[in-house]
């Protein structure tokens, strides 16, 4: 059974992230594997931007960044270099189009297949013709093997797993973060997704050939297979 919840000091988002934890967490290199691929001075839409850790990095690299999140508390911490939009990814429909849409933080591993499709549709309806979509998935072998117990300690954060259970390709667990003298938890369910599953999902929503990036091939890059601007102008591409 899927569940999203969190605990610890401060507010938690709908998906169980702790605002105070993400607000204090520095950039930990999450975009390093794709940063150099983005065209210079792009307009970028980050889906699920949180407090702007990654968005701030993109802005500092010279991109114009709009961050979308359904947590007002997260958005209240965005730096002035990032424009925030308070909305759910599945419902947002901005009049602007972007050179790049980014779906980081393993949001694509949501257990609800309809929501996964809606995330990809959101990217499709916000891209300029020839724009590029990047998404990051969880390592499926990690989802299949992670066990309850200590996971790692790096960059001042201690990570542990609690309550790990599996049902088919679904993993439910609680991640425990200890940092800054505090303890936060995030409980979630994630669907393991092999490259082929993501490629099929992207193709269903009109994207062409997928290129995989990064040491473990967890970043997908895709462009719309044809120019959808005319459909969008007719209102037929929602």
Ligand X SMILES: C[S@@+](CC[C@H](N)C(=O)[O-])C[C@H]1O[C@@H](n2cnc3c(N)ncnc32)[C@H](O)[C@@H]1O
User: Shortest approach of ligand X to residue 124 CB, angstroms?
Assistant: 16
Angstrom distance (rounded) from CA 186 to CA 231: 40
Nearest to 210 by CA among 221, 198, 219, 224: 221
Structure tokens at 97: 């189009």
Q: Buried b / exposed e across 94-130, counting CB within 10 Å, b at 16+?
A: eeebbbbbbbbbbbbbbbeeeebebbbbbbbbbbbee
**Residue whose CB is nearest to ligand X in the complex, by number:** 50
Nearest approach in angstroms of CB 233 to ligand X is: 26
C-beta of residue 99 within 8 angstroms of C-beta of residue 131:
yes
Q: Least Å distance between CB 166 and ligand X?
A: 21
CA dihedral 134, 22, 190, 172 (to 10 degrees): 170
Q: 44 vs 54, which CB is nearer to ligand X?
A: 54
> Residues in the site for ligand X, rule: CB under 6 A?
13, 15, 17, 22, 30, 48-50, 53-54, 69-71, 74, 88-90, 104-105, 107
d(CA 177, CA 2): 20
Query: Which of the 8 DSSP states describes residue 108?
Result: G
**Could you tell me the smallest distance in angstroms from the CB atom of residue 227 to ligand X?**
27
Nearer to ligand X, 33 or 231 (CB): 33
Q: What is the DSSP letter of 194?
A: -
Q: Which is nearer to ligand X, 85 or 195 (CB)?
A: 85
The length of the chain, given as a count of residues: 238
| Beta carbon of residue 209, minimum distance to ligand X (angstroms, whole number) | 26
Closer to ligand X by CB, 43 or 105: give it.
105
CB nearer ligand X, residue 83 or residue 88 = 88
């Amino acid at each position: 059974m899927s569940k999203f919840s969190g605990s610890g000091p401060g507010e938690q988002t709908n998906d169980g992230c702790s605002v105070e934890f993400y607000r204090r967490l520095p950039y930990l290199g999450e975009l390093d594997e794709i940063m150099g691929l983005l065209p210079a001075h792009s307009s970028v839409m980050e889906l699920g931007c949180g407090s702007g850790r990654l968005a701030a990095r993109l802005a500092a690299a010279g991109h114009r960044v709009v961050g979308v999140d359904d947590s007002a508390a997260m958005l209240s911490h965005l730096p002035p270099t990032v424009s925030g939009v308070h909305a759910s990814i599945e419902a947002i429909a901005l009049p602007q189009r972007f050179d790049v849409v980014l779906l980081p933080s393993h949001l694509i591993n949501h257990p609800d297949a309809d929501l996964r499709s809606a995330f990809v549709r959101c990217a499709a309806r916000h891209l300029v013709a020839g724009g590029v979509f990047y998404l990051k998935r969880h390592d499926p072998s990690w989802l299949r093997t992670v066990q309850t117990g200590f996971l790692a300690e790096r960059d001042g954060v201690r990570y542990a797993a609690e309550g790990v259970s599996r049902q088919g390709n679904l993993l439910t667990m609680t991640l425990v973060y200890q940092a800054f003298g505090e303890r936060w938890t995030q409980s979630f369910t994630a669907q393991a997704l092999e490259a082929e599953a993501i490629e099929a999902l992207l193709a269903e929503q009109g994207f062409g050939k997928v290129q995989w990036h990064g040491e473990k091939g967890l970043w997908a890059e895709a462009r719309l297979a044809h120019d959808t601007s005319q459909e969008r102008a007719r209102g037929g591409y929602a």
